[in-house]
């Protein structure tokens, strides 16, 4: 909420400051959440992709992304991750955030090359790229949204009207309600643990198996409905139109 308040205040004074605020504030939050070393890895990867995209070769950007994905699943990276983060929560957020970061870096690289602005490097370009890659709350949760869309909306964003703010705030509370429902369901449907104890399902009757088969994908759907929906609702308060939350399991 602090970020939303500051964004509305900055829009009232000077729109061009918004990308700088996003970049700076997001870096501070990342340091607080996952630590300085992990944040440095994020920034280093963004810098590598930014330099690579200046060559104008999309193939190079795709190659770097593939290499990064291979490294992400390499056992040596798993060992290095332990020294970069403290605790399981930081380690998990670092790995998930880095995966989203790869997708965003590829997006800004390809979009800037296709738009023919990859050779135009100014302070505003760097700030906008950083704010896109590190934008909260999507840095850990997604969903992915294109750099070109972000660039357009951050340059055209306007102060939200009270009615619009109220609608999005109500949607946040609506999603919080579903979050608590999801937490309650987790006490009855062990959607994550059941894969480690498949023998348990062998004792179920047909109705129980059908119920389990229905519950598992619905729990999966509900989780991402909440995650993507919450990120999108908060982003709308700042004038960004994220992709909508999923409407079905597929």
136-173 pLDDT, tens per residue?
A: 888 888 888 889 888 888 776 655 566 677 887 888 89
Q: Is residue 112 in a domain?
A: yes
Domain ends where: 156, 185, 217? 156
pLDDT for residue 63? 95
Residues 120 and 182 in one domain: no
Structural domain that includes position 128: 1-156
pLDDT for residue 3? 61
First to last CA, the chain: 32
Residues 150 and 202 in one domain: no
Q: Is residue 122 in a domain?
A: yes
Q: Is residue 142 in a domain?
A: yes
* Number of separate domains in the chain: 2
pLDDT class of 66 with cuts at 50, 70, 90: very high
The encoded tokens of residue 163 equal: 């009615």
Can you tell me the distance from the alpha carbon of 186 to that of 208, in angstroms, rounded to the nearest whole number?
A: 16
Q: Is residue 179 in a domain?
A: yes
Average pLDDT of the residues in 229-233: 86
CA 183 to chain centre: 21
Q: Is residue 250 in a domain?
A: no
Average pLDDT of the residues in 54-83: 86
Residues 82 and 104 in one domain: yes
The encoded tokens of residue 1 equal: 């909420």
Question: How many of the other CB atoms lie within 10 Å of CB of 16?
Answer: 11
Contact (CB, 8 A) for 224 and 245: yes
State pLDDT tens for residues 171-189. 889 999 999 999 988 888 7
Residues 63 and 125 in one domain: yes
Q: Is residue 249 in a domain?
A: no
Residues 128 and 8 in one domain: yes
CA 117 to chain centre: 25
Q: Is residue 177 in a domain?
A: yes
Can you tell me the distance from the alpha carbon of 160 to that of 165, in angstroms, rounded to the nearest whole number?
A: 6
Residues 173 and 143 in one domain: no
Half-sphere exposure of 45 (CA within 13 A, CB side): 27
Q: E-assigned strands of 160-216?
A: none
Q: Is residue 38 in a domain?
A: yes
CA distances from 48 to 64, 65, 95, 137, 247 (A): 9, 11, 18, 23, 36
* Three-state SS annotation for 139-168: HHHCCCCCHHHHHHHHHHCCCCCHHHHHHH
Residues 125 and 7 in one domain: yes
Domain ends where: 126, 156, 186? 156
Q: Which helix (H) or strand (E) holds 28?
A: helix 18-34
């Amino acid at each position: 909420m602090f970020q939303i308040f500051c964004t509305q205040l900055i829009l009232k004074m000077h729109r061009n400051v918004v990308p700088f605020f996003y970049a700076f504030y997001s870096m501070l939050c990342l340091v607080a959440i996952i630590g300085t070393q992990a944040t440095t890895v994020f920034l280093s990867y963004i810098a590598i992709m930014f330099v690579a995209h200046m060559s104008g070769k999309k193939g190079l950007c795709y190659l770097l992304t593939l290499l990064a994905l291979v490294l992400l699943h390499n056992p040596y990276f798993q060992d290095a991750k332990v020294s970069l983060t403290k605790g399981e929560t930081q380690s998990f957020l670092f790995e998930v955030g880095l995966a989203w970061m790869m997708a965003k870096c590829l997006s800004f690289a390809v979009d800037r090359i296709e738009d023919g602005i990859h050779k135009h490097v100014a302070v505003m370009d760097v700030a906008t790229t950083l704010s896109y890659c590190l934008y909260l709350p999507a840095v850990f949760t997604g969903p992915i949204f294109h750099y070109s869309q972000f660039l357009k909306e951050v340059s055209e964003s306007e102060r939200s009207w009270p009615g619009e703010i109220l609608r999005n705030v109500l949607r946040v509370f609506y999603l919080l309600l579903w979050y608590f429902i999801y937490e309650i369901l987790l006490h009855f449907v062990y959607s994550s643990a059941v894969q480690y104890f498949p023998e348990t399902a062998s004792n179920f009757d047909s109705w129980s198996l059908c119920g389990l088969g229905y519950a598992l994908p619905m729990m999966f759907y509900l989780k991402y409905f909440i995650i993507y929906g919450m990120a999108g609702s908060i982003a709308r308060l700042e004038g960004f139109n994220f992709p909508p939350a999923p409407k079905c399991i597929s």
